[in-house]
């Protein structure tokens, strides 16, 4: 049972995302290899590309972790409210 507000990612979406990442990475590597510049410039562009890719993965993980933390906190708050409502007896007098 899925919680409202959460979505399931399909296998096709994972495949499309992985394939597009692979094609883009291959195109950048190919472009850097055939660029008519000195080797040190190619190395600089390659290093910049590696840094860009790794920092993109790090940013995506941070965004995902923040979103999951928000969802977990919301589910815990909802469970607490449900527990309070389940234990509440409207016919029980407050002062005995």
Domain boundaries, the chain: 11-87
Give the model's pLDDT for residue 5: 53
Assess contact for 42 and 35: CB atoms under 8 A.
yes
Assess contact for 24 and 41: CB atoms under 8 A.
no
- In this structure, the dihedral spanned by the alpha carbons of residues 29, 32, 33 and 38, taken in order and rounded to 10 degrees, is -150
Give the model's pLDDT for residue 84: 86
Give the model's pLDDT for residue 1: 41
- In this structure, the dihedral spanned by the alpha carbons of residues 64, 12, 15 and 18, taken in order and rounded to 10 degrees, is -40
Per-residue pLDDT for 6 more than 80? no
Assess contact for 12 and 77: CB atoms under 8 A.
no
Average pLDDT (4-28) is: 86
Spatial distance between the Cα atoms of 6 and 81, rounded to a whole number of angstroms: 20
Spatial distance between the Cα atoms of 56 and 19, rounded to a whole number of angstroms: 16
Its pTM stands at 0.59
Write the pLDDT tens digit of every residue in 48-72: 999 999 999 999 999 988 888 778 7
């Amino acid at each position: 049972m899925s919680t409202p507000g959460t979505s399931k990612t399909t296998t096709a979406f994972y495949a499309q995302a992985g394939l597009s990442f692979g094609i883009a990475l291959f195109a950048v590597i190919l472009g850097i290899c055939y660029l008519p510049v000195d080797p040190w410039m190619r190395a600089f562009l390659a290093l910049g590309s590696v840094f860009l890719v790794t920092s993109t993965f790090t940013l995506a993980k941070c965004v995902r972790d923040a979103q999951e933390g928000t969802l977990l906190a919301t589910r815990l708050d909802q469970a607490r409210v449900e527990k309070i409502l389940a234990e509440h007896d409207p016919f029980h007098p407050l002062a005995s």
